Amino acid sequence: MIQHKNTLITIVGPTAIGKTALSIKLANHFKSDIISCDSRQFYKEMTIGTAVPEPEELAAANHHFIQNRSIFNDYNVGQFERDALAKLDDLFIENSVQIMVGGSGLYVDAVLKGLDYFPEVDKQIRIDLTKELEEKGIESLQEKLKDLDIETYNTIAIENPHRIMRALEICIGTNTPYSTFKNKPKESRNFNSIKVGLTANREIIYSRINQRVDLMIKNGLLEEAKELFEYKNLNALQTVGYRELFSYFDDDFTKEFAISEIKKNTRRFAKRQITWFKKDEKTLWFDYKTDSNQIIKTIEENIINEG
Q: Is 18 annotated as a binding residue?
A: yes
Q: How far is CA 283 from CA 23, 274, 279, in A?
A: 16, 12, 9
Q: Is 53 annotated as a binding residue?
A: no
Q: Is 20 annotated as a binding residue?
A: yes
Eight-class DSSP state of 52: P
- For 219, list phi and psi in degrees, rounded to 5: -85, 0
Q: Is 199 annotated as a binding residue?
A: no
Q: How many CA atoms lie within 13 A of 28 on its CB side?
A: 13
Q: Is 173 annotated as a binding residue?
A: no
Q: Is 16 annotated as a binding residue?
A: yes
Q: Is 17 annotated as a binding residue?
A: yes
Backbone region of residue 245 per phi and psi (left: phi > 0; alpha: psi in -120 to 50; beta: other values): alpha
Q: How many CA atoms lie within 13 A of 177 on its CB side?
A: 13
- Is-contact 5 97, C-beta < 8 A? no
Eight-class DSSP state of 290: S
Q: Report the distance separating Cα 287 and Cα 165, nearest Å.
A: 35
Q: How many residues would you count in the chain?
A: 307
Looking at 143-219, which runs of residues are DSSP E strands?
Answer: 192-199
Residue type (1 letter), 136:
K
Q: Is 13 annotated as a binding residue?
A: yes
Using a 10 angstrom Cβ sphere, with 0-12 exposed, 13-18 middle and 19 or more buried, the burial of residue 291 is exposed
- For 238, list phi and psi in degrees, rounded to 5: -85, 65
C-alpha angle 49-50-52 in degrees, rounded to nearest 5? 115
Give the distance, in angstroms, between the CA of residue 66 and the centroid of all CA atoms in the same chain. Answer: 12
Residues in binding site = 13-20
Annotated binding site for substrate: 15-20
Point out the annotated binding site for ATP.
13-20
